[in-house]
Structures are given as structure tokens and as C-alpha cells.
Amino acid sequence: MAAYEVLSGKRVVLGVSASIAAYKAVSVASALTQAGALVDVVMTPEAQELVRPLSFQAITHRPVLSEMFHLLAETDIGHVTLGHRADVVVVAPATAHTLAKLSLGLADDLITTTVLATRAPLVLAPAMDAGMYDNSAVRENVARLRERGAVVVEPEWGRMASGLVGQGRLAEAPTIVETLRVVLGRGGDLADWRVVVTAGGTREAIDPVRFVSNHSSGKMGYAVAVAARDRGAEVVLISAPSALAPPLGVESRPVVNAEEMHRAVAKAIDAADLLVMAAAVADYRPRQAADRKIKKHGGELLLRLVPTTDILADTAGMANDCLIRVGFAAETDELIEHARGKLERKRLDLIVANDISELESGFGSDTNRVVLLDRTGGRRDLPLLPKPEVAHHILDEAIRIQAERIG
């Protein structure tokens, strides 16, 4: 499964109600369409005063719908058909008025009718001026919709069109699209799997301001976590410091050093099906971190290092029988030989031999060149690929290994 995209081929109904933020829905429609979704935009008549339907039509290459009975007449498929065939319905922006109608079950326009008719998951992205979102009537409506299963993308804090500051700004398009990925991913081929992923480079303190670390950005590990999430897994991401934002729909557990990562992994793998150690864990740490900043003096400074615990090797003894354990081996030379050695020493099911001899592969890059080696001697050489694609190949292998175990 090379290019896995959970949105590809999915039917998304995007309801746009009349908030000033309606223009942001154009970016949502664009991102969904680019990801391969079939996007049917449904607008309230008032929303069309704010954004021209043509903007959506040009981006989605599909007609924009508004009138319930026009649709009935033109297509002879009934005004509930949109809802019936949708994989997901998202209302963005959802005004206070639309939320109130949805909460009451009213059906006086195409958005509310579609929501009532659909059996697909419902995602709501409220947007309204400061003060309104705090109103108890709105809060109650949102709470009731949540109770019925709607996923709510919380509006952001900030300056409103009115000039007031508060919570009510429509969430940014990437957040809304990411939420749709999470929702659509449920029921994927990793549904019922619990996946633990480590990412980033650990930091081993020298003193309160200095540390020993490496160049890991976290990109590879985060890509594995997001890929597993998009395929329906429950994911725990144990991350050493990284500039990346914690992914939506993933349980993030930040750690700093190898010892903290060790404890977090030991705790998380208890009921897990898969452990993927993409983190670059320090092999050595300063024997004793100074509790005060070390002062500069003329001569040499000797840093005494002691080995850290090998987390992966340690999990061989403590892991439950079902756990599939995947390690990485970042190598500049003798890639296969060194990786096979680690696979055996750490008693892994799979090792991702990571060729870091070229600039576009390994630490910090968006792409990676890897060879997948399993404990039965199996080998798959992958070309240079974006890290999310590498992540999906690793997950495919984990699924294969599990299927072989079950027999």
C-alpha cells in the first residue's frame, strides 16, 4: 500500500452556514479535494451572500447545492440522498443558529435535512462572535450534539470580525481536515490495534542548560503515529522534544531523556499490539548531571558518560506475547549487516534499516530510504519515499507479521 490517503475517494458533504468565516470553508473544500475526496458543498442561502457558490464549484468541480426542492427536481434523487451516500458530513462554519436547529432536529434547509438523513459521522466546526459561544444556550446545544455522537472541532480564541476578542473563530482548515481524517480512519485495517510509537531525539542533561542529543526531528515517528491513526489504531506517541505539533487523535506523552522514555514505553506496551521505536535514543548519558550551570574555565572539560538502558532490548523480556516489536537502525555504512545484528540482539520482529548516508534520508529530512528486514530473513528494499509512505509500508509489514502469527 504505497500511497495511502484516508480521504481518497470518500464522499464528504461540506455544509457552509452564514458566518463571516465562511470564506475559510473554501480552503477546507480545496484541501479535501486535493486529498482525493468527492466534496459536495451545501450552502444556506445566507452563506451565499458571504461567499459565492462559484468559488466552491471551481475548486470541487461539483455543483454547489442549496435548495432542497431544486435538487429534488433536477436530479430526481430526493433531498436526503446526499446524506445517505455521504461517508462523513461536516458543517464548517456551523453558526449558533444552525447548531440550534441541529440540536432540535429541525429540517428547514439542505444542511439540516442532510444531517438528519445521514447515518455517516457528523463533524461540526462552530464559528460565532465573541460571547456567543459562551452563551449557555449554545453550550447546551453543542453538548447535546456531542452526546449524540457529533465530533466538535472547537473554535479558536482570538480577535473576531467585530473587533472583540474571545473564543469563536473557526478552527483553521488543516485542523478541520485532520479531524475528518481521524473520523474516517475509524474502522480501518488497524481498528482494534493499540500502537505505541516513539519519536525524536532524547536529551541527556549535562547541567541545567546543556544536554547531549542528536539531530532527530521526530518526523519519522510522527509519520508512523499519524499513519496508524488514519488506519483506525489507538495510538500512543512517546516523543522526545520535537518542534512538531502533537498530532490530533493521538495520545501524546512527552518525555525528555532516555530514562523517561524507558518508563513511558514500559507502561504503554502492556496492552499494545505494536511497538515502533523510531526515536533516536541516546546510547550514553552524562554520569551525573550538574545541578548548577558549569562555569567556563581555561582547561579541558571531561564529560564522563555511562550507557543508557537499551529500551527495545529490555522490552523483549517484559512484552506481552502478542506485541510486535519494530526497531530502526540508522546506519552510515554496512547497512544490512548492522541492522541484522540489531534485529537479532534485540530479538525484534522487524527492523527498519535506515540509510542515512544521503542528505534526503534519515535525520531531519522529509524523505527516507529504508530496507525492511524481518526475523525470518525476509527483505524489502524501498526507494526514497516521503516519510508518511515509509510509515504505511512499516504498518503493512506489521499487519502481515500478525497475520502469519495467527496462521
- Crossing angle of the two packed helices 96-104 and 110-117, in degrees rounded to 10: 40
The answer to whether the beta carbons of residues 122 and 115 sit under 8 Å apart is: yes
Assess 362 for contact with ligand PMT (CB under 6 A): yes
Q: Using CB under 6 A, which of 254, 336, 363, 384 touches ligand PMT?
A: 363
Assess 310 for contact with ligand PMT (CB under 6 A): yes
Q: From residue 335, how far is each of 31, 150, 331, 352, 369 by CA, in Å? A: 38, 48, 6, 10, 11
Q: Write out the E strands in 173-317.
A: 194-199, 204-207, 210-212, 234-239, 251-254, 274-277, 284-286, 305-307
Q: Please identify, among the stretches 86-94, 174-182, 276-284, 295-303, the one whose residues bind ligand PMT according to the rule CB under 6 A.
A: 276-284
Q: Please identify, among the stretches 18-26, 298-306, 362-370, 376-384, the one whose residues bind ligand PMT according to the rule CB under 6 A.
A: 362-370
Assess 279 for contact with ligand PMT (CB under 6 A): yes
Q: Using CB under 6 A, which of 79, 101, 340, 342 touches ligand PMT?
A: 342
Assess 341 for contact with ligand PMT (CB under 6 A): no
Kindly give the pairing relationship between strand 274-277 and strand 324-331: parallel
Residue from 214, 257, 320, 354 carrying the catalytic annotation: 214
Whether residue 93 has a cis bond before it, omega within 30° of 0: yes
Assess 183 for contact with ligand PMT (CB under 6 A): no
Closer to ligand PMT at the Cβ: 120 or 329?
329
Assess 308 for contact with ligand PMT (CB under 6 A): yes
Q: Identify whether 214 is a catalytic site residue.
A: yes
What is the distance between the alpha carbons of residues 311 and 335, in angstroms, rounded to a whole number? Answer: 21
What is the distance between the alpha carbons of residues 146 and 400, in angstroms, rounded to a whole number? Answer: 37
Binding mask 203-232 for ligand PMT (x = CB under 6 A): -------------xxxxxx-----------
Assess 283 for contact with ligand PMT (CB under 6 A): yes
Closer to ligand PMT at the Cβ: 121 or 362?
362
Closer to ligand PMT at the Cβ: 33 or 217?
217
How many residues bind ligand PMT (CB under 6 A)? The answer is 26
Mapped onto helix, strand or coil, the DSSP state of residue 157 is: strand
Assess 343 for contact with ligand PMT (CB under 6 A): no
**Which residues are within 8 A (CB) of 117 and not within 5 positions of it... i.e. 6 or more apart?**
79, 80, 82, 83, 84
Q: Please identify, among the stretches 51-59, 231-239, 266-274, 323-331, the one whose residues bind ligand PMT according to the rule CB under 6 A.
A: 323-331
Q: From residue 322, how far is each of 194, 245, 273, 366, 402 by CA, in Å? A: 11, 31, 6, 32, 8
Q: C-beta of 194: minimal distance to ligand PMT in Å? A: 19
Query: Cα 72 from chain centroid?
Result: 38
Interface residues toward ligand PMT, by CB under 6 A? 216-221, 258, 277-281, 283, 308, 310-312, 327-330, 342, 354, 362-364
* Residues taking part in catalysis: 214
